[in-house]
Amino acid sequence: MPSVIILLMSIVFTNPLLGSETEPPTLREVMRGLEKSLKKLDHGIFFEDFKLIKKSAMEIAIHPKPLGELPKILKKLGKRAPSFKGFDLKVHNAAKEMAELASKKDMFGILNKHSIMLKNCVGCHLQYRIEIASLLNN
Ligand code: HEC
């Protein structure tokens, strides 16, 4: 199922016939979007708003991909590309599980996945942020 979503998203982001919103976002734009969704998610947690938790966790799980910059990133990373993608996948899985736990109103389950998610957001930053930022923003 997630691969269907990813497939649909890559069609949307690469098909020039689908309107003017087809420019793929930069990695930095994707990251700023993730931070916004994370703030909404945390708000949902503090207000026990499980609908908001579910919605914002899904936004994180199916975030757009920086398709314009991705080839450059993966080329630069070479053998380390799977490790980079691994962080993204772990964020994706934890966020998706959070959305599912929100349906069950399982707050402690959500907090557990939240911690796993953050470890992988920050884990990727600690390992790759400076290198990728200087690759893309120069
Ligand atoms: C696969 C690696 C990876 C994962 C996972 C990841 N990030 Fe990032 N993030 C980056 C990189 C690389 C940059 C630097 C991008 C740049 O400066 O162009 C970045 C930068 C950022 C920034 C700073 C953007 C700016 O304007 O300078 C924020 C905020 C951010 N990430 C939030 C998040 C959040 C929230 C998550 C988890 C939900 C997350 N990131 C997960 C790789 C990752």
Q: How confident is the model at residue 38 (pLDDT cuts 50, 70, 90)?
A: very high
CA of 31 to the centre of ligand 1 (A): 5
Q: What is the pLDDT of residues 55-65, one digit of tens each?
A: 999 999 999 99
Q: 34 with 42: CB under 8 angstroms?
A: no
Determine the pLDDT at residue 127: 98
pLDDT tens, residue by residue, 69-91: 999 999 999 999 999 999 999 99
Distance 47 CA to ligand 1 centre (A): 26
* Other beta carbons within 10 Å of 100: 16
**Which residue's CA is minimally distant from atom 25 of ligand 1?**
28
> 87 to each of 13, 17, 115, 135, how far by Cα in Å?
22, 32, 14, 19
